[in-house]
Amino acid sequence: MSPLVLFSFVIGYFLILLAVAWVTSRNSTNDSFFIGNRNSNWFLVAFGMIGTSLSGVTFISVPGAVGLSGFAYFQIVIGYLIGYAAVAMVLLPLYYKLNLTSIYNYLSTRLGFASYKTGASFFILSRTLGATARLYLVVKVLQDTILSSLGVPFWLTALIILVMILLYTFEGGVKTIVWTDTLQTTGMLAGLVICIIYLLQTLHLDISSAWHSIGDKGYTNIFNTNPLSKTFFLKQIIAGAFITITMTGMDQEMMQKNISVKTLGGSQKNMLTFSIILLVVNLMFLFLGGLLYLFAASKGVSATGDQIFPVMALQFMPAAIAVIFILALISALFPSADGAITALTSSFCIDIMGIQRNENLSDAQRKRTRQIVHLSFSGIFLLLVMVFYQLNNPSMIGVILKIAGYTYGPILGLFSFGILTKRQVADKWVPVVSILSPLVCFLLDKYQQQLFGGFEIGLELLVINGLLTFIGLLIISNKNKQ
């Protein structure tokens, strides 16, 4: 199928999103943009969050990683379940009790103004880097498979995608995203199921025989029992739990959708339902990865990593499957990018600029400020996508989890200190502690072989970072109660 025809399907899909945005964003206010007027349906939020959590990285990188590490990624997914339970039972009640629009206001109430600004700033840094890394991967696939042959440069492809996202999120924000993410999650999961069915039929396998064939290749191995390895199963499960607690429960993008649900009970149902669905979907992506490697072997193709799914879908499958792949990929792209830009806009406006608290600003001025910030973050996304394009790492899921280890650690330490202790900190020193902790982690990671010999630090770097921040906060605290 010609690249022009494939791109026409992308445009058609985008027009559907615009139509949904037009319907949902009418009469929108800043409250609609930031928290959906606290009137979102819990099931729609749960379902749409699947697309936000998985993103194009899961769609491309998780199947691709099967050829390198088997089903080892599922160790992390098991940890996710523990993390989501902690978010539902500990963090959501706290956020609803305080009636928060930005979850980082908790840090202001509990620890102080500098702590609040520090937490919000680390979120902005974390989400900006993580979201642009995810966006880069999908933009690159679209560039390589469609737009390069049309003579479109990479920077223009990235700009087109960001303009598309900007157009349908500009007015409605969270109110619109709850609905568009539901649509896009449906598209992504439909693409996943259709590709699995096609591969099973082509390889003349049922689910049971396919599982055994994948196992014969060594791909279904999940648990690494070597305690010195960076992928040791206990380390991965613990890391998965803390990744979820920080990247969901302490992340404004994920939480702004949850706290847009009317009641705490509905939000908790959303979180627990979402966690179970996510476990199943991740297992399906790993299963798809095993099938792709079997299919590639049958065709004599040696593609691995992030390249295997795009190569096999667009070069060795029928035109209809190629279209489904592109639409599913777009469905995986937009939820992670649209929610990130909206959440970053919300956090910067509320936490850094304080426009909700500024009584000197009219509603029109607040809206105008929000729109300028929204445009600014779109520009930042474009610049960072170009940076990732120059770096060109072959496996973006590893890059994203690595970034999270450094940038979410201080957020984990701040929230943990606030929840688990009654001590008060010397607030002005909190930014110093929060910067020093990732720097120490960087040195530990860089020189781990000299320091620890055969022991390898993996994703537990996030936990170490949070613990160092927690210890630093203890040092600058006193026993005065709240």
CA–CA separation, 92 and 260 (whole Å):
12
Q: Which residue has the higher pLDDT, 18 or 412?
A: 412
**Of 11, 288, 302, 275, whose CA–CA distance to 163 is shortest?**
11
Q: Which residue has the higher pLDDT, 392 or 351?
A: 351
What are the pLDDT digits (tens) for 435-450? 999 999 999 888 888 8
Asked if pLDDT for residue 426 goes beyond 70, the answer is yes
Determine the pLDDT at residue 331: 74
C-alpha triplet 126, 178, 274: angle, nearest 5°: 75
Convert 221-259 to b/e letters by CB count within 10 Å (16 or more is b).
Answer: ebbbeeeebbbbbebbbbbbbbbbbbbbbbbbbbbbbbb
Tokens of 420: 């688990």
Least confident of 162-166, 217-221, 409-413: 162-166
Determine the pLDDT at residue 51: 64
Determine the pLDDT at residue 437: 95
Q: Which residue has the higher pLDDT, 76 or 394?
A: 76
Determine the pLDDT at residue 32: 47
Asked if pLDDT for residue 414 goes beyond 90, the answer is yes
CA–CA separation, 381 and 346 (whole Å):
16
The 3-state secondary structure of the chain, one letter per residue = CCHHHHHHHHHHHHHHHHHHHHHHCCCCCHHHHHHHHHCECHHHHHHHHHHHHHHHHHHHHHHHHHHHHCCCHHHHHHHHHHHHHHHHHHHHHHHHHHCCCCCCHHHHHHCCHHHHHHHHHHHHHHHHHHHHHHHHHHHHHHHHHHHHHHCCCHHHHHHHHHHHHHHHHCCCCHHHHHHHHHHHHHHHHHHHHHHHHHHHHHCCCCHHHHHHHHHHCCCCCCCCCCCCCCCCHHHHHHHHHHHHHHHHHCCHHHHHHHCCECCHHHHHHHHHHHHHHHHHHHHHHHHHHHHHHHHHHHHCCCCCHHHHHHHHHHHCCCHHHHHHHHHHHHHHHHHHHHHHHHHHHHHHHHHHCCCCCCCCCCHHHHHHHHHHHHHHHHHHHHHHHHHHHHHCCCCHHHHHHHHHHHHCHHHHHHHHHHHHCCCEECHHHHHHHHHHHHHHHHHHHHCHHHHHCCCCCCCCHHHHHHHHHHHHHHHCEECCCC
Average pLDDT over residues 377-397: 82
Residue recorded with tokens 């003349």: 204
Determine the pLDDT at residue 171: 56
Asked if pLDDT for residue 33 goes beyond 60, the answer is no
Determine the pLDDT at residue 17: 74
Tokens of 10: 């992308």
What are the pLDDT digits (tens) for 325-370? 888 877 776 666 777 787 788 788 888 888 767 777 777 888 788 8
**Of 447, 445, 450, 440, whose CA–CA distance to 402 is shortest?**
445
- Mean residue pLDDT of the chain comes to 84
Average pLDDT over residues 260-283: 86
**Of 399, 140, 91, 398, whose CA–CA distance to 252 is shortest?**
91
What are the pLDDT digits (tens) for 130-176? 888 888 877 888 888 788 888 889 999 889 888 887 776 665 555 66
The residues near 437 (Cβ < 8 Å, ≥ 6 apart) are 409, 410, 413, 465, 468, 469, 472
Q: Which amino acid is at 91?
A: L
Go through the domains of the chain in sequence order and give each one's CATH number.
3-387 (1.20.1730.10)
Asked if pLDDT for residue 42 goes beyond 70, the answer is no
Q: What percent of the chain has pLDDT over 90?
A: 32
**Is 81 in contact with 283 (CB distance < 8 Å)?**
no
Asked if pLDDT for residue 482 goes beyond 50, the answer is no
Determine the pLDDT at residue 302: 83
Q: Is the pTM of this model over 0.85?
A: no
CA–CA separation, 479 and 75 (whole Å):
39
Determine the pLDDT at residue 241: 93
Determine the pLDDT at residue 201: 95
The residues near 402 (Cβ < 8 Å, ≥ 6 apart) are 461
Determine the pLDDT at residue 178: 67
CA–CA separation, 397 and 134 (whole Å):
8
Mean pLDDT highest for which of 35-39, 130-134, 294-298?
Answer: 294-298
Question: Within 13 A of 300's CA, how many CA atoms are on the CB side?
Answer: 0
Determine the pLDDT at residue 36: 47
In Å, how far are 65, 77, 224, 277 from 72, measured between CA atoms?
Answer: 9, 9, 7, 19
Determine the pLDDT at residue 322: 87
What are the pLDDT digits (tens) for 82-120? 999 999 999 999 999 988 877 888 999 899 999 999 998
Torsion of CA 94, 100, 104, 109, to 10 degrees: -70
CB atoms under 10 Å from CB of 41, counted, come to 18
**Is 291 in contact with 101 (CB distance < 8 Å)?**
no
Average pLDDT over residues 19-38: 59
Average pLDDT over residues 223-245: 89
